[in-house]
Amino acid sequence: MITDEQGREFVPPPTIVAERDKSERERLAICTDWSNHSTAWLMRHRLGLRAVLMDLMAGVEIKGDEAMIQALADFSKRNASHVKGILNLTIPLSESPVWILGQYLWQLGLSTESRRPMEDDQRVRYYRLNTSDVEFIQKVLDYRRRQREEKERKRQKSLEQDAAYAARMQFQYGINTPFIPHSNESGDNNRGGYGHRCRTQ
């Protein structure tokens, strides 16, 4: 939690989200159509979507009348213009909480399935995440985690090699080696400039 000079509190996005924005701005320095991953993350955070997803990923079923689902729907309707501007989702005021939740899930590549058991002599519909979606998302998350860990391992190894080389130069010749930035993921050292193309919509 961060507090500004007026005493207002802000929740910063996770480091991985902020770094994604920073990386895009460095790679596409002359562009103005950057994605705003941090802003989208903050909107979903204020919606309470993370807490809902945590429950759904754990296998919890919902009916749509739960407090957190109602709160998500109410916030969405009160801030429909902001949701449209930031997440590009249209939220009709007449739609149900479950329908609204479904739009956010769809945007994340998830869907729901339902069942209708008898309760007190009437059918009640329960929703849960589509099992195949959950399995796929888990594989994607595991893959991305391994990629991040491997990238960090390579970065640490490179820093250790640089430090060892600098120490050898200092010991043998009494000189300090200049810092040479490592190439980025695209394989070059450019930070913007005419060598990069802007993304197109």
pLDDT above 80 (res 190):
no
CA distance 158 to 164: 10
pLDDT band at 191 (very low <50, low <70, confident <90, very high): very low
Using a pLDDT cut of 90, give the percent of the chain over it: 32
Show the CA angle centred on residue 88, arms to residues 148 and 201, nearest 5°.
70
Q: Worst-scoring range by mean pLDDT, 16-30, 53-67, 120-134, 168-182?
A: 16-30
Identify the pLDDT of residue 185.
47
pLDDT band at 18 (very low <50, low <70, confident <90, very high): low
31: alpha, beta or left? (left if phi > 0; alpha if psi -120 to 50): beta
- Look up residue 126 and give its two tokens: 């329960």
Q: Worst-scoring range by mean pLDDT, 60-69, 124-133, 190-199?
A: 190-199
CA distance 179 to 164: 13
End-to-end CA distance of the chain: 34
Q: What's at 193, amino acid-wise?
A: G
- Look up residue 29 and give its two tokens: 């320095």
Residue 122: CA count within 13 A, CB half-sphere: 2
Identify the pLDDT of residue 12.
67
Q: Worst-scoring range by mean pLDDT, 45-54, 150-159, 164-173?
A: 164-173
pTM listed for this prediction: 0.62
User: Average pLDDT of 179-197?
Assistant: 46
The DSSP secondary-structure symbol of 160 reads: H
- Look up residue 82 and give its two tokens: 């902001």
Residue 138: is it exposed, middle or buried by C-beta count within 10 angstroms (0-12/13-18/19+)? exposed
pLDDT above 90 (res 62):
yes
